Homo-oligomer: A and B are copies of this chain.
Amino acid sequence: MPEYNAPLRDMRFVMDELLDMTGSYAAYGLEDATPDLVSAILEEGAKFTNQVLSPLNRTGDEEGCHIENGVVTTPKGFKEAYQAYCENGWGSMTASPEYGGQGLPSSLGLILAEMVASANYSFSMYPGLSHGCAAAIAAHGTNEQKELYLNKLTPGTWTGTMCLTEPHCGTDLGLVKTRAVPQADGTYKVTGTKIFISCGEHDMSENIVHLVLAKLPDAPAGTKGISLFIVPKFLPDANGEVGERNSLICGSIEHKMGIKASATCVMNFDDATGFLIGDVNKGLNCMFTMMNHARLGTGMQGLCHGEASYQSALAYAKDRLQMRSLKGPAAPDKAADPIIVHPDVRRMLLTMKAFNEGNRALAYHTAKLLDQAHYAAEEEARADAEAQLAFLTPICKAFMTDTGLEATLLGQQVFGGHGFIREWGQEQHVRDCRIAPIYEGTNGIQALDLLGRKVLGSQGKLLKTFTKQVHLLCKEVEGDAKFGDYAKKLAQLNAQWGELTTSVGMKAMQNPEEVGAAAVDYLAFSGYVVHAYLWLKMALVAQAKLDEGSTEVDFYKGKLATQAFFYQRLLPRAQAHAEALTAGASSLMDIAVEQF
């Protein structure tokens, strides 16, 4: 059975050599996160995920979750693993010390989450959703709510959920039908059906805190009439411990393509007692304050499955003997050569490696901006980080999951027929990863967010926060003997990015559908340019290390070869996206519905 090993060397490369994250912790006054502590956390995290979570990945998929009379049972071993996860303090790493957390940097939490999710994505959903719930309460709850819930959510004794979707509305939350009727005691009675509720019911924690979007009886129509409520499975008693059962129940769980060990629940609220969090009718705003974090986390799902799939595919490609090298026997003592000698197997592996490592660089780069937005002392620095995050977040969510899915499909292909059967685990990565481009805002919605709201909505200002950085890098490198041509290519794409934006923006003033028609290809184009920027930066670091005489020659030469591969064989796709989006709305809207 394949086992995930956290790629610590590459993680450190991005953290330390590319981004100097540990250095930034000190600058933000996060003195507890010393280099030694960071190292210890990464190493212990690697051990824990390899030894405890990875072995439950396939069994969890095979067994799945079960429901009987509203009681959901998670697969064998999940409950114990969750207990160990909490006891080791993995769940409370980044939470505030005020509520029992360790106050470590947000970015370090995301990096630990990468390991957890790569080893066992379904498992990672349980603490992941809890984390989102706790963050919402921390940001919008009253002091009393924070005291009550965060002291339970932080150690993981209780877990949390986010209840947004209903049968008739997913993307379009303005259509929410769940009702919250105010009571004389200041509480609300919440009634409605929520679907696709991840970890809505399970056997891991003693209580489950649901955050539920609902409408007051007199609420304005649409998204401006949605409020957010805390609706716990068990109402807290006077001591803040589990009290009376609330009137809500899990009606059923979904049979899904993947992430089967994560319970996806239909939740029925029937006059359940709820507590308003944040202001009336401002529920969506409360949810959206966590969006950057949640969407980066979902983007990382692409990286996680891509990485796990790559590790297995690489091992298989070195081991599986089939046909001879086109140049003649590479392993003449064996019946055939390992398939890694074949150019096309290498093309698949290098595509995976290029996407994974590019995605890791993008994720950590973005996580560092999250730190800056949280911890920087100067307001200007925080605002600058928020601006960059607004721009990068939809790219992270969509581009990382699309390329991650492509990586898992390639990892499966490397195995031939053996990739289609359960035994080797490759097909599970595809099935598990497939949800990532769909949930947490479909990738089509991310693209609209990027082009419509962020780029055009800011008159191009948010785009310029990034293209300026690219421009500066290209200027710096343009004369370089080895990298000058790559910088030229990147500079050309960077300029084109601005031109495409202007051109769509002009057309959109006449016809708003131009934005929708261009968005997905625009996001893909953007993703390739962002990767190209990060790959050039990574290559410069690798070259510098080699020039300094580093003994890790293979590691750095691998980086350089992958950067060259990315520019030569993947980056040309950017042009196809540019050309497609230039076709404009008429290519999609001229056809009548009856003509499909």
For A317, give the chain B residue with the smallest CB separation: B596
Q: How far is the CB of A521 from chain B (nearest CB, A)?
A: 8
Whether A591 contacts B557 in the complex (CB less than 8 A), given A347-B517, A512-B326, comes out as yes
Judge whether A280 is part of the interface by a CB distance below 8 angstroms. no
Judge whether A8 is part of the interface by a CB distance below 8 angstroms. no
Between A256, A345, A596, the greatest number of chain B beta carbons within 10 A of the residue's beta carbon is seen for: A596
For A570, give the chain B residue with the smallest CB separation: B580
- Chain B residues contacting A555 (CB-CB under 8 Å) are 595
Judge whether A564 is part of the interface by a CB distance below 8 angstroms. yes
Q: Are B561 and A591 in contact (CB under 8 A)?
A: yes
Q: Are A416 and B171 in contact (CB under 8 A)?
A: yes
Whether A572 contacts B580 in the complex (CB less than 8 A), given A346-B588, A595-B554, comes out as yes
Q: How far is the CB of A319 from chain B (nearest CB, A)?
A: 11
For A437, give the chain B residue with the smallest CB separation: B413
Judge whether A562 is part of the interface by a CB distance below 8 angstroms. yes
Whether A561 contacts B585 in the complex (CB less than 8 A), given A171-B416, A172-B323, A322-B169, comes out as no
A420 to B439, CA, bound (A): 10
Q: Are B326 and A557 in contact (CB under 8 A)?
A: no
A307 to B498, CA, bound (A): 38
Oligomer copy total: 2
Judge whether A447 is part of the interface by a CB distance below 8 angstroms. yes
Q: Are A343 and B412 in contact (CB under 8 A)?
A: no
Judge whether A573 is part of the interface by a CB distance below 8 angstroms. yes
For window 502-528 of A, CB contacts with B under 8 Å fall at 511-513, 515-517, 519-521
Q: Are A416 and B575 in contact (CB under 8 A)?
A: no
Q: How far is the CB of A425 from chain B (nearest CB, A)?
A: 11
Question: Which among B172, B258, B557, B576 is the interface contact of A336 at CB below 8 angstroms?
Answer: B172
For A175, give the chain B residue with the smallest CB separation: B335
Judge whether A327 is part of the interface by a CB distance below 8 angstroms. yes
A576 to B577, CA, bound (A): 10
Q: Are B342 and A516 in contact (CB under 8 A)?
A: yes
Whether A430 contacts B434 in the complex (CB less than 8 A), given A565-B587, A572-B575, A596-B349, comes out as yes
For window 187-229 of A, CB contacts with B under 8 Å fall at 195-196
Binary flags per residue of A320-347, CB closer than 8 Å to B gives 1, else 0: 0111011100000001100010111111
Binary flags per residue of A558-596, CB closer than 8 Å to B gives 1, else 0: 100110110011101101100110010101111111111
A413 to B522, CA, bound (A): 18
Whether A427 contacts B257 in the complex (CB less than 8 A), given A416-B438, A419-B438, A444-B344, comes out as yes
- Chain B residues contacting A558 (CB-CB under 8 Å) are 591, 595-596
A10 to B519, CA, bound (A): 31
- Chain B residues contacting A585 (CB-CB under 8 Å) are 343
Question: Which among B172, B417, B589 is the interface contact of A170 at CB below 8 angstroms?
Answer: B417
Question: Which among B326, B438, B564 is the interface contact of A413 at CB below 8 angstroms?
Answer: B438
For A519, give the chain B residue with the smallest CB separation: B344
Q: Are A172 and B583 in contact (CB under 8 A)?
A: no
Judge whether A245 is part of the interface by a CB distance below 8 angstroms. no
- Chain B residues contacting A416 (CB-CB under 8 Å) are 170-171, 438, 442
- Chosen A-B contacts, 17 in total, with CB atoms closer than 8 Å, are A172-B323, A255-B423, A256-B422, A256-B427, A342-B516, A344-B516, A344-B519, A346-B591, A347-B517, A413-B437, A554-B594, A557-B591, A561-B590, A568-B580, A568-B583, A572-B580, A573-B573
B-contacting residues of A (Cβ < 8 Å)?
A: 165, 168-172, 175, 195-196, 254-258, 264, 314, 318, 321-323, 325-327, 335-336, 340, 342-350, 353, 405, 409, 412-413, 416-417, 419-423, 427, 430-431, 434-435, 437-439, 442-444, 447-448, 511-513, 515-517, 519-521, 554-555, 557-558, 561-562, 564-565, 568-570, 572-573, 575-576, 579-580, 583, 585, 587-596
Given A175-B321, A257-B420, A342-B516, 15 more contacts at CB 8 Å? A170-B416, A172-B336, A196-B417, A254-B423, A256-B422, A344-B516, A346-B589, A348-B444, A413-B444, A417-B438, A558-B596, A561-B591, A564-B587, A565-B591, A573-B573
